[in-house]
Structure 1
Amino acid sequence: MTALHDTGRAHSPRAWLAIPQPTTAELSSGVWRPSTVRVTADDPMLAREAERLTRELAALGIPDGEGSVVCLRRDDRADESFEITVGEDIAVSAGTAAGAFRATRQLLHNLRAQGLVPHGRVCSAPVVAERGFHLDAARKYFPAPWIVDLLHALADVGVTTFQWHVSENEGFRIGSEAFPEIVSSAHVTRAEALVVADTAADLHIDLVPSLDMPGHLRHALAAHPDLRLPDAGGLPTDHALDITRAAAIDFAAALIDDVAALFPRSTRWHLGGDEFVDFARIEEYPALAAAAREQHGPRATGFDLLTAFVNAMSAHLRARGLAPRVWNDGMLRSETVALDPDLVLTWWTNWHVDMRPLAAAVDAGNPLVNFHDALLYYVLGEKAGYTYPTSARIWESEWHPGLFPALPDGTRQEIPMPYPARLLGASFSVWSDDASAQTPEEVADGVRRPLRAMAERAWNGISALSHDQFCEIDAAIGVATAPGPCAR
């Protein structure tokens, strides 16, 4: 990776001030700052990006006119990779609209940070395809306009995936046609959800609905108590779906179908699968133990029943064209039922000694996304022993997409670069455990720098920036200008 700071000062005219930093940069003397600009596209696939950039440059004081030219060119580059050549004119080469979009963010960052773009040539390609953001908008109500603004902030730094968590023990916060009785009073309407989905698609963000099951359903099951897991000697079950019964499984599939109708362009779906019951005491739930033995043989446990449920819901999702994913904590622990090997495991923790290690997932071949809870979980109110993540901790740990949470004894779990194809990427998360701890605006301010630290290191793996340089660039680029009425 080429060093991008000739003088070590982030505000040097020869610094490329953008997040994420490009993979390589060859900067020369001279700067680009025309009085007017004409943005062109040599392929209809890039026309939307040319129109978008024209408006964005005008908002920064460089209106459309017969001055310099920014030409968006389509070539055979893969996915989001791009090349930018800056002289009197600018040439952006990318193989996809998403790649052109990523490149134009780089230009805008430089203009916002220093009012110019250095002459030179930069090339970039991400080390992982997925850089995600998870929002728990179920425990806490986040208004749809705020979510739309969040999507713009995410896209500005190369986030590709928005995981929208809409159902929790404390609320169901998206409109439902099939089950209006479970919807919380404060919720995103179905019409608003369509606007959010349209915005995500326009910004090259894959919206991943997250509807946790068979646990985390206390709010929904309050209206359907007959579908709860039976009492287990005082162990809590009011949040758990009775996966021993066909009626409960049908209810789960119907919930999916109702929400999925809002997101026809989504390609992935998060099933949850975590914290269904107290996994350390799963043998103490008699209904699970009996059904597991009856359905899967004498060696089967509640984990087999959970795995079978997850596999069944995964098949249901695939029939709808949605690739399923689940949290890791309850997976790979069954005796007789094999977990679907194509199911994506979103690996958030190994806090308990009985949770399977990362090596088990690698051996099983399941695709992985790194949700490292110790570094990338922004838990409102700092509940459950969490502290708010910081860019400093992310840098000090030398985190990269292949560095996963440690085992309980401190053993490091890491997939080194170059990453295998099964490591899809990494994600930052907001969890609303204490919904009143921060306002939505405070959440947006609080996550900005650690999120950008994740974005920088998830694009590049090991960043060429020092932490001080990163912080200077973060402060310099500020936030994206609020989009005008035509930009959405």
Structure 2
Amino acid sequence: MISPAAPAARTPWASLPQPTAFEPAGGTWEPERVRVIAASRGLRREAERLESELRARGIAAAADVSDPVIRLRLSPLAHRDPADESFTIDVADDVVVTAASAAGVFRATRQLLHNLRAQGAVPRGIVRSAPAVAERGLHLDAGRKHYPAAWNLAQLHAAADVGVNVFQWHFSENEGFRLESTAFPEIVSSGHITRAEAAEIVATARDLHIDLVPSLDMPGHLRHALRAHPDLRLPDAPGLATDHALDITREDPVRFALALIDDMLPVFPHSTRWNLGGDEFVDFDRIAEFPALATAAAERYGAAGTGFDLLTAFVNRVAAHLRERGLEARAWNDGLLRSTAERLDQDVVLTWWTNWNAGMRPVADALAAGHRLVNVDDAVFYYVLGENAGYRYPTAERIWAADWHPGLFPALWGPEGQATVVQELERPYPAALLGVSFAVWSDRPEAQTPAEVAEGIRGPLRAMAERAWNAGSAVELADFAALDAAIGEVTPLEEERRHV
């Protein structure tokens, strides 16, 4: 463990993620008292937040006009973009933070706090920083395992502290439905988040400049919900599992899926994106062996029709339903782009997690079809409880060993089950690469407590945040580890909760 008085070597600016550029001017800024000034009304919340955080670190409020000032300001009007998180920090006798958005100002103030936490001072000089990709996400499988509301709130603060700006909340799974439903109370698990608790989680995410993406997987991964509605399941197929799968060949089950979405929508009033799933619907290698799918596909598309066409049509319909409600649709990649009669809606964003099966389409096909992508590389960023299905818990060491960056996707696997082709987008990245995400999957929920999950993900999530922001990293693994230890954990203030 590194002490606050000894920041990492070769990293005079002690932050995660590291800034894009730092021009040191010599010396440090070590105020005993300071005043934070918001140069515009839209930054008052950031000024109030930073004031509270500085007070908690023992830096008193300014006593007179000669005391140092931290000035928060937005770029000139012509250069403002609410989605732009880039910022500059000019540290002299006073500190001036300039950004194109309130989110950018927030990211910059985290950098100041990291230096104070790591070394008790901020190096003088000029920092310029901008993320290589717009999204740096954390996905949480809260369907298989109940994570209490307080745990979710703490993880939002921990994620925001290092520049993570998307939280994908996966609240439904084969093993549970963990969010209170008003229209379908019969499907809700005993351990769940109430609507009142959800409202605080949603408000906290918004306050921390984190976009909350609901994740309600369908037409697969619905065993728990379908246990209360067995008439909506895909009909039996000899030797094949169907109890988790919605019957997409009939209208009533599809309407149930859409009604379930509509029931959940009021929980997420600020969300603009929604992950509808689309993955692991049935055993894709044996999709022709499901009689209901084969019959319906032949009736709808002729002899060449397949279950993949039906799946694609379902995803397109759900995507249209979401679009009508102002939401962008997202879906996992494994079962899509494999249809012949139906073409996947080009506006569906593909959350790309794997190419473990030779039948799964490559990233190049998605780009050629005009899809945007989020890289959720399961080889390095799948934190699977109990290390189920052969996964190993991610570590910063493995992330650095892979020289991972946002354009490095899971490798293509050949017919013999071996990785054969590297899939990599070169820097600077195409606009189609929206970002990346770390993913917690609770396959064996008893394997770790929520506290152990929080401890286990901290290092690799920070490693992803560092390498996602910088399209790789300019620091060595040892320096990253030292920074991680020096910065320590963020402690949400009670004032934060009262504000939300």
For the aligned pair, the TM-score class normalised by the smaller chain equals: over 0.9
Question: How high is the TM-score relative to the length of structure 2?
Answer: 0.95
Whether the 8 Å CA contact 2:11–2:479 is kept in 1: the answer is: no
How far apart are the structure 1 equivalents of 2:28 and 2:9?
12
Corresponding residue number in structure 2 for 1:431: 441
Preserved CA contact (<8 Å) 1:268 1:324: yes
- The residue that corresponds to 1:205 in the other structure is 210
Q: Does 1:462 align with 2:472?
A: yes
1:173 maps onto 2:178 in alignment: yes
Deviations 1:271-305 (A, max 9, x none): 00000000000000010111112223331100000
* Residue 61 (structure 1) aligned to one of 54, 58, 62: 58
Partners of 1:11 and 1:114 within 8 A in 2: no
1:188 aligned partner:
193
- 1:314-348 deviation per Cα after TM superposition (whole angstroms, max 9, x unaligned): 00001111101000000000011000011000000
- SS of 2:390's partner is coil
Tell me which amino acid in the other structure corresponds to 1:71.
R
Residues in 2 aligned to 1:63 and 1:481: alpha-carbon distance in whole angstroms: 19
Matches within 5 A, 1:12-411: 15-66=12-63, 67-75=67-75, 76=79, 78=81, 79-408=84-413, 409-411=419-421
Contact 2:7 2:119 in 1 (8 A): no
Distance 2:274 2:104 in 1: 24
Offset, 1:357: 1.1
**Aligned to 1:258, what secondary structure does the other structure show?**
helix
Q: Which amino acid counterpart does residue 475 of structure 2 have in structure 1?
A: L
The one-letter amino acid of 1:198's match is: A
Structure 1 SS opposite 2:492: coil
For 1:68, give the aligned amino acid: P
**Cα distance between partner residues in 1 of 2:73 and 2:178:** 42
1:442 is aligned with what amino acid? E
User: Which stretch shows the higher mean deviation, 333-342 or 64-73?
Assistant: 64-73
Asked if residue 443 in structure 1 is aligned to residue 440 in structure 2, the reply is no
Q: Which amino acid aligns with 2:479?
A: Q
Tell me, in whole angstroms, the C-alpha distance in 1 between the residues paired with 2:192 and 2:185: 11
**Contact 1:13 1:118 (C-alpha < 8 Å) held by counterparts:** no
Q: Which runs of 5+ in 1 are unaligned?
A: 1-8
Equivalence for 2:424:
414
Q: Secondary structure at the match of 2:267?
A: coil
**AA in 2 matched with 1:421:** A
- What is the Cα deviation at residue 14 of structure 1? 7.4
Deviation (angstroms), 1:29: 1.4
Q: Map Cα deviations across residues 225-270 of structure 1 (whole Å, 9 max, x no partner).
A: 0000000112110000000110000000011011111001001000
The yes-or-no answer on 1:482 pairing with 2:492 is yes
In 2, Cα distance between equivalents of 1:200 and 1:376:
22
Q: Distance in 1 between matches of 2:157 and 2:420?
A: 37
Q: Per the alignment, in what secondary structure is the counterpart of residue 39 of structure 1?
A: strand
Hey, what's the Cα distance between the residues in 2 that align with 1:273 and 1:265?
Answer: 23
The aligned amino acid for 1:461 is A
Give 1:410 deviation, angstroms.
2.3
- CA–CA distance in 2 between the matches of 1:289 and 1:37? 70
Q: Which amino acid aligns with 2:19?
A: P
For 1:324, what is the secondary structure of its paired residue? strand
Percent sequence identity over aligned pairs: 63
Is residue 38–residue 73 contact of structure 2 (8 Å, CA) maintained in 1? yes
Q: CA deviation at 1:77?
A: 5.0
Letter in 1 for 2:18: Q
Cα shift readout 1:444-466 (whole Å, capped 9, x = no counterpart): 00000000000000000021000
Give the Cα separation in 2 of the matches to 1:401 and 1:195.
Answer: 31
Distance 2:11 2:360 in 1: 49
Question: Equivalent residue of 1:407, what SS?
Answer: strand
Structure 1 residues 403-412 or 278-287, which shifts more?
A: 403-412
Whole-angstrom CA distance in 1 between matches of 2:388 and 2:397: 21
Partner-residue secondary structure (3-state), 1:411: strand
Q: Distance in 2 between matches of 1:301 and 1:69?
A: 66
> Matched residue of 2:171: which SS?
strand
- TM-superposed CA distance for 1:33, in Å, is 1.2
In structure 2, C-alpha distance between the alignment counterparts of 1:328 and 1:284, rounded to whole Å: 22
1:452 aligns with 2:457: no
* Kept in 2: contact 1:54–1:63 (CA 8 A): no
Deviation at 1:426, TM superposition (A): 0.4
Amino acid at match of 1:197: V
Distance in structure 1 (CA, Å) of the matches to 2:323 and 2:169: 19
| Partners of 1:399 and 1:457 within 8 A in 2 | yes
Checking the alignment, whether the CA contact within 8 Å between 2:7 and 2:118 is kept in structure 1 is no
AA matched with 2:490: A
Q: Is 1:369–1:424's contact at 8 Å kept on the other side of the alignment?
A: yes
Unpaired stretches in structure 2, ≥5 consecutive residues:
1-5, 414-418
CA–CA distance in 2 between the matches of 1:423 and 1:251? 33
Q: Equivalent residue of 2:127, what SS? A: strand
Whole-Å separation in 2 of the counterparts to 1:389 and 1:13: 26
Q: Secondary structure at the match of 1:421?
A: coil
Of 210-219 and 476-485, deviating more is 476-485
The answer (yes or no) to whether the contact 1:14–1:118 under 8 Å persists in 2 is: no
Distance 2:468 2:8 in 1: 24
Distance in 2, matches of 1:63 and 1:155, equals 25
**Contact 2:215–2:277 (CA under 8 A) maintained in structure 1:** yes
Letter in 1 for 2:359: D
